Amino acid sequence: MTNRPNIILILNDDMGYSDLGCYGGEIHTPNLDSLAKGGLRYTQFYNTARCCPSRASLLTGLYPHQADVGHMMGDDRIDGYLGDLNPNTVTIAEALRLGGYATYMSGKWHVTRHVAGPKHNWPVQRGFDDYYGIISGAANYYQPGTLTRNNERIEPEGKDYFLTDEISKEAVRQIREHVSNRKDTPFFQYVAYTAPHWPLHAHAEDVAKYKGRFDCGWDEIRRQRLDRMIGMGIIHENWKLSERDLSVRPWEDENHKEWQARRMEVYAAQIDRMDQGIGRILDALRETGQWENSLIVFLSDNGGCAEELGEDCRNWIATSHEKAGPLLTRDGRNVRFGNSPDILPGGEDTYSSYGVPWANVSNTPFRLYKHWVHEGGISTPFIVHWPDGIRARNELRHQPAQLPDVMATFIDIASVDYPRTFNGRSIQGIEGFSMADTFENRPHRRKVLYWEHEGNKAVRKGRWKLVCKYPGGWELYDMEAGRTELDDVSADHPDIVRDLSGLYAEWAGRCKIVPWEKLLERRK
């Protein structure tokens, strides 16, 4: 079947719902904007609120607990929380390779606790023909740990090394080599950027583009974004903007405006540099004749990250098995750790994050952040572009969908069967539903969506979303009346709370979810 499309899946790290230009943000993202203009933007696509659970769900078409990545990369010695893809899963790469696809990956893996070995859950062992990237999670952009080519650990090379650029460069190499060597074979490529995850590292020329752009402060930026999102049709005009995070001062009362604006300038520069690299990937597809019949999907692994880094993060960096960063720069200077007005971020000698106030901006107009399953933690841009396969251009899709649906969509359009067994092992049934119908703006087959992370839990069916911020109780929101989750109507609809909580309990039992307090007790 020579007309089957190439499939390029691009995932980025810790980016909020409204950061991209095509979702209302002020960050310069012309290449992603061009994909949106030539394709589809989904307004209600959801991740799982955290990095590695999202990646596990995305790669396997399952819920993260079913893949044994119910939390992070630690081993809690209980099914669902082993921090390592279990053997009864099959990845997108494995399934598509069975169907005759070549498979490539460039970027962050982060679905195994075994960052130094054994290698049974490294990319090459899980279906990829060629791999370049990091096996672990957070990474210094100038000196990333766990850098790997296929199965061999390597070191960054060159005085100009920068991880975002190298992920793009390697993805371009893979495309060009594929066309040179296997032109008649369709390919699947997974490009997993670490940008804009902390640390705030960026090229000076990219940061300079945003000098002064955020000087009006977070309150005004949020209002501007909301106005643009309403104008684009992404947000309904009747939905109210959530309040500024209660821990954050009004901008006019902020004592360190220059430093605060600089944090967002560097964050914006990280996304800008990623978009530049995506542009080079798109150019490679055009120049090699692969553009028209390539399905390209872009999304983020969770909402904006409100984690504030203190100086004590130096100790975690020094002892982390994930090798999140060195203590010295390449020329021997001490790295200055933490979020402090005395440290302007961006350079190799800094290690900081953009924190609560700017994560609140990134997730405009929603509440909360990465970790939580209110809309700010789980809502992601989702862009789909496929000239040969999708007739629509520059259209929105409002059908709710979530991560397991990505794999289901890919095997559907590739005409590949989801395997019941693989390498002699029985495989869990896929949880996703193909989104192909939504390309033509028909209803999506998925009727119910589920989430759980660190005791935060939610279930959505139709217009109703039942959600809990651990250790609180259930809240109920009418997502058509107000998706920003400001009006809890649980007291008015006990029957809906009962029905949805019953659906959640059934799902949680089936998917090996352990109550968070019991998991914490096991760790003592």
Which pair of structure tokens corresponds to residue 179?
């066309």
Q: Which residues pair with 153 in a beta bridge?
A: 148
∠ at Cα 299 (271, 474), nearest 5°? Answer: 110
Looking at the domain that runs over 6-440, which CATH code has it been given? Answer: 3.40.720.10
Interstrand relation of 147-149 and 102-108 (parallel, antiparallel or unpaired): unpaired
Which residue type occupies 285? Answer: L
- Tokens 């950027």 map to which residue? 193
Distance CA 484, CA 480 (A): 10
Which three-class secondary structure string do you get for 409-462?
HHHHHCCCCCCCEECCEECCCCCCCCCHHHHCCCCCCCCEEEEEECCEEEEEEC
Cβ(76)–Cβ(523) below 8 Å? yes
* CA distance linking residue 236 with residue 465, whole number of Å: 17
What one-character DSSP code corresponds to residue 491?
A: G
Please give the Cα distance from 411 to 100 (Å, whole number).
Answer: 12
CB atoms within 10 A of CB 76: 18
Separation between Cα atoms, residue 524 and residue 447, nearest integer Å: 39
- Residue 1: predicted pLDDT: 38
b (16+ CB within 10 A) / e for 401-425: bbbbbbbbbbbbbbebebbeebeee
- Tell me the three state secondary structure of residue 304: coil
The pLDDT value recorded for residue 2 is: 52
Instruction: Supply 164's token pair.
Output: 């975002």
pTM value surpassing 0.75: yes
The domains of the chain are located at 6-440
User: Which amino acid is located at 61 in the chain?
Assistant: G
Q: What torsion do the CA atoms of 199, 204, 207, 211 make, to the nearest 10 degrees?
A: 130
Q: Does residue 415 contact residue 1 with C-beta atoms inside 8 Å?
A: yes
pLDDT at 321: 66
User: Which run of H or of E encompasses 97?
Assistant: helix 92-98
**Tens digits of pLDDT across the chain (524 residues):** 358 999 999 999 999 999 999 999 999 999 999 999 999 999 999 999 999 999 999 999 999 999 999 999 999 999 999 999 999 999 999 999 999 999 999 999 999 999 998 999 999 999 999 999 999 998 999 999 999 999 999 999 999 999 999 999 999 999 999 999 999 999 999 999 999 999 999 999 999 999 999 999 999 999 999 999 999 999 999 999 999 999 999 999 999 999 999 999 999 999 999 999 999 999 999 999 999 999 999 999 999 999 999 988 988 888 876 778 899 999 999 999 999 999 999 999 999 999 999 999 999 999 999 999 999 999 999 999 999 999 999 999 999 999 999 999 999 999 999 999 999 999 999 999 999 999 999 999 999 999 999 999 999 999 999 999 999 999 999 999 999 999 999 999 999 999 999 999 999 999 999 999 999 999 88
User: How many other CB atoms are there within 10 angstroms of residue 288's CB atom?
Assistant: 16
Tell me whether strands 425-426 and 421-422 are parallel, antiparallel or unpaired.
antiparallel
Query: What pLDDT was estimated at residue 323?
Result: 73
